[in-house]
Amino acid sequence: MSTSTASLAADRADSTGSTAPEHGAGRRGRTLRRRAGMVLIAVFVALYLVPVAGVLATSLKTNAEIAERGIWALTGKLTLANYLDVWSTANTVRYLINSFQVAIPAVVVSIAGGTLIGYALAKFRPRGGTAIQLVIVSGLFVPPQVLLVPLFTMFRSFDLLNTLWPMILIHSAVGFSVCTLVMRNFFEQIPDSLRYAALIDGASEGEVFWRVMLPLARPALAALATLQFTFIWNDFLYPLVFTSARDDVATIMLGLLNVKGQFTVAYGTQASLAVIASIPTVVIFFVFQKHFVRGLLSGALKE
Amino acid sequence: MRPTTRWAILFMGPPILLFTAIVVVPTAMALRLSFTDANILGQTSQWIGFDNFVEAFTNEHVRKSIRITLVWTLFGALLPPALGLGIAMMLQANTRFAAIMKSALFVPISISLVVVGQVWIWIYQPGDGLINQMLGMVGLESLEEAWLANRSTALWAVFIAWAWQQAVLAMILYLAGLTSIPGELVEAARVDGAGQFQVFRRVIMPLLRPITTVVLSLIAINSLRNFDLVFAMTQGGPVRETETMPMLVWRILFRQHEQGLASAVSLILFAMTLVVIGGLTWWGRRGSYVD
């Protein structure tokens, strides 16, 4: 059954390392196969490390040196000059602040809203709940391009173009789809008896939700926070459409794109800005990696 | 009114209002626009029936773009999942590496497609690009190429950069799925005389089917929505060879200023997404209760 497999998979994924099945093949065949496997893994690691290391190395070389010897040259002095340069350009810090000003409220609102809808669908089971769920989850499949023209007209009439509001509002609302899906699945698994017991003890529905259910949901909420933050931080379509006229409201990803356009050959500058732009999501992934897998699986598997 | 209904309205009301304003109403407005000849200059907005859809299916650029998107989705559903599964199985056999590797591999999927695009431009570029330098080192200068500027290689070059990232997504999910398969099941199949390939085909793959459905759904959505990487790497060029449907919608909107046609094409993309996801869901359900 899909449900149990998924949660099992997610649980076991945290403790990789114990359950490699030992097959009964001959010892020599096994070591040979293991060596071949290790070579393949090494190739694979190179495939993934080289591009990442390339950006890091480029960010630490001077533009002059890159121009002379090429991007991928293994020689050269390492320097933090590009970082100091990029950081002291007033707009880099502005871009980062803008990105946080979009991502934090949008992550909070999308998860809060998705949790409320998901909980109501799973526990109050209102009439028409299935239809509501279908509409909200279908949001996952609406290409952003469908929404651009109507939203542009709408934000223009409210005079919100070239502010951060379009991104905050869009990411909040669009995020309800995945958050509702994950949270409804989560609350569906929690037995109703827990809710009834608290209600009999005199708690209101609101208190049951806040004091009993939400604390239980912490792992699911962490998973969603990781997913949503990464998604919103990395997006550049909406900033491109709604804030293209003013550089001081650009998010870091739009800033990165603009820098690329302005200094086509200043590779060192581009690379250091790319590294700065990537730090928040990479850090969050390292901290919450097991939640991320769990979030993806629970969201997509249990319907 | 039942008291729980009142609670339901209290809980769901505000977020549903926001969702309606930002997603549902604009989708309906896009549907209306797709039947008009609206343009960004705002002179006309006449009802023209299905003309935009007829135009979309007869215009060679739109048709080419649909073809590119479909080919991308098809290969996207094959290459990254296969690669991801292969790597996941190797990692599972070498558990010592798995933990370190898993952490290292989170970098490619946590970084933005703008950054991914940037690195791969440097890998592909003529002159000091990584691929050309390596070809030069082994004496194959004749194969050097401006990979992203050449009409016959550009699409595949962008696709490979994309697959590079998506394979990690598949790998991480498959690794989670593989560790959940009980070793005894594989052992039992072997005792019954199953060869390695049979174990893979008859035991492992069926058990991974729910995971496969997730992987394919995520990758299909990402393929169909592919705008970011194309925009960052080629903006649809050279000569529209990498113009995926989202990229085409962008062009129709901001270069040709035809809102009606752009809405029609974006709705065709929406319909394609629903068909693909519907098919995958059906496939996943059909298999999930069968051994």
Mean pLDDT value of segment A4-19: 40
DSSP, residue by residue, chain B: --HHHHHHHHHHHHHHHHHIIIIIHHHHHHHHHTTB---TT-S---B-TTHHHHHHHH-HHHHHHHHHHHHHHHHHHHHHHHHHHHHHHHHHHSHHHHHHHHHHHHHHHHS-HHHHHHHHHHHH-TTT-HHHHHHHHTT-GGG---TTTSTTTHHHHHHHHHHHHHHHHHHHHHHHHHHTS-HHHHHHHHHTT--HHHIIIIIIHHHHHHHHHHHHHHHHHHHHT--HHHHHHTTT-STTTT--HHHHHHHHHHTS--HHHHHHHHHHHHHHHHHHHHHHHHHHHHHHT--
Measured in angstroms, the CA of A222 and the nearest CA of chain B are apart by 16
Closest CA of chain B from A74, distance in Å: 12
pLDDT for the residue A164? 95
**CA nearest neighbour of A236 among B114, B163, B25, B179:** B114
Least confident of A119-123, A193-197, B68-72: A193-197
∠ CA B66-B72-B75, rounded to 5°? 140
Sign of CA dihedral B67, B73, B74, B76: positive
Among chain A residues, CA nearest to B89: A37
Chain A residues with CB under 8 Å of B99 CB are 16-17
Q: Confidence band (pLDDT; 50, 70, 90) for A141?
A: very high
| CB-count exposure of residue A30 (10 Å: 0-12, 13-18, 19+) | middle
- Which of the four pLDDT bands, split at 50, 70 and 90, describes residue B40? low
Tell me the average pLDDT across A205-227: 89
Q: Does domain B62-288 have CATH number 3.40.920.10?
A: no
Q: Which residue has the higher pLDDT, B39 or A303?
A: B39
- Give the mean pLDDT of A243-269: 83
Q: What is the pLDDT of residue B242?
A: 92
Residue A34 gets which letter from DSSP? Answer: H
Q: Is B37 exposed, middle or buried (0-12, 13-18, 19+ CB in 10 A)?
A: middle
Q: What is the pLDDT of residue B291?
A: 40
Check pLDDT > 60 for residue B225. Answer: yes
Helix (H) or strand (E) holding B201: none
- Phi/psi for A122 (5° steps) reads -80, -35
The ipTM (two decimal places) reads 0.89
Q: What is the mean pLDDT of residues A188-194?
A: 89
Which of the pair, A68 or A226, is modelled with greater confidence? A226
User: What are the backbone dihedrals phi and psi of residue A171, each rounded to the nearest 5 degrees, phi first?
Assistant: -65, -35
Separation CA A181–CA A6 (nearest Å): 15
Residue B161 has pLDDT above 90, yes or no: yes
Range scoring the smallest mean pLDDT among A187-201, B54-68, B89-103: B89-103
| Cα–Cα distance, B255 to A115 (Å, whole number) | 40
Which of B5, B39, B115, B265 to mutate to test binding with chain A, by most A CBs within 10 Å of its CB? B115
Domain boundaries, chain A: 83-301
Using a pLDDT cut of 70, give the percent of chain A over it.
85
Q: Give the span between the Cα atoms of A262 and B201, in whole angstroms.
A: 52
Mean pLDDT computed over every residue of chain B: 87
Q: Mention every residue, 6+ apart, whose C-beta is less than 8 A from residue A240.
A: A254, A257
Contact by Cβ (8 Å): A275, A59: yes
Flag if B94 and A41 touch (Cβ within 8 Å).
Answer: yes
Q: Is a pLDDT exceeding 60 seen at residue A73?
A: yes
Confidence of residue A97 (pLDDT cuts 50, 70, 90): very high
Dist CA B273 CA A141 (whole Å): 6
Contact B180 A5 (CB under 8 A): yes
Q: How confident is the model at residue A22 (pLDDT cuts 50, 70, 90)?
A: very low
Exposed, middle or buried: residue A3 (CB in 10 Å: 0-12, 13-18, 19+)?
middle
A50 chain-B contacts, CB cut-off 8 A: 130
Q: What rounded mean pLDDT belongs to chain A?
A: 83
Determine the distance in angstroms separating the CA of A28 from the nearest CA of chain B, rounded to an integer. 16
- Three-state DSSP class for residue A263: coil
Contact A277, B118 (CB under 8 A): no
**Mean per-residue pLDDT, B27-33:** 92
Q: What is the pLDDT of residues B173-194, one digit of tens each?
A: 888 888 878 888 888 888 888 8
Q: What is the mean pLDDT of residues B96-119?
A: 83
Res. A2: pLDDT tops 70 = no
**Helices B259-288/B205-224 angle, 10° precision:** 180
Name every chain B residue with its beta carbon within 8 A of the beta carbon of A55.
115, 118-119
**Which pLDDT band, with edges at 50, 70 and 90, does B272 fall under?**
very high
Q: Residue B26 is nearest to which of A112, A150, A253, comparing CB atoms?
A: A150
Handedness of CA A195, A12, A224, B79 (dihedral sign): negative
CB contacts of A142 in chain B (<8 Å) are 23, 27, 270
Chain B residues inside the 8 Å CB shell of A303: 281
**Pairwise CB contact (< 8 Å): B102 & A2:** no
The contacts of residue A242 (CB under 8 Å, 6+ apart) are A151, A152, A155, A160, A161, A162, A166, A167
Share above pLDDT 90 across residues of chain A, in percent, rounded to a whole number: 43
Q: Do A141 and B168 touch (CB under 8 A)?
A: no
pLDDT at B64 over 90: yes
Most confident of A23-37, A106-120, B76-90, B161-175: A106-120
**What pLDDT sits at residue B164?**
93
- From chain A, pick out residues whose CB is under 8 angstroms from the CB of B3: 205
Give the closest-approach CA distance of A69 to chain B in angstroms. 8
Give the pLDDT score at A13.
40
Question: Please, what CATH class does the domain formed by A83-301 belong to?
Answer: mainly alpha
Instruction: Inspect the interface and report whether the beta carbons of A150 and B14 lie closer than 8 Å.
Output: no
Question: Which single residue is written with the structure tokens 């931080």?
Answer: A233
The answer to whether the Cβ–Cβ distance between B263 and A149 falls below 8 Å is yes
Neighbouring residues of A189: CB distance < 8 A, sequence distance ≥ 6: none
Cα A293 from Cα A102, distance rounded (Å): 24
Query: What pLDDT was estimated at residue A27?
Result: 62
Confidence of residue A266 (pLDDT cuts 50, 70, 90): confident
- Asked whether A268 and A59 are in contact (CB, 8 A), the reply is yes
pTM (2 d.p.)? 0.88
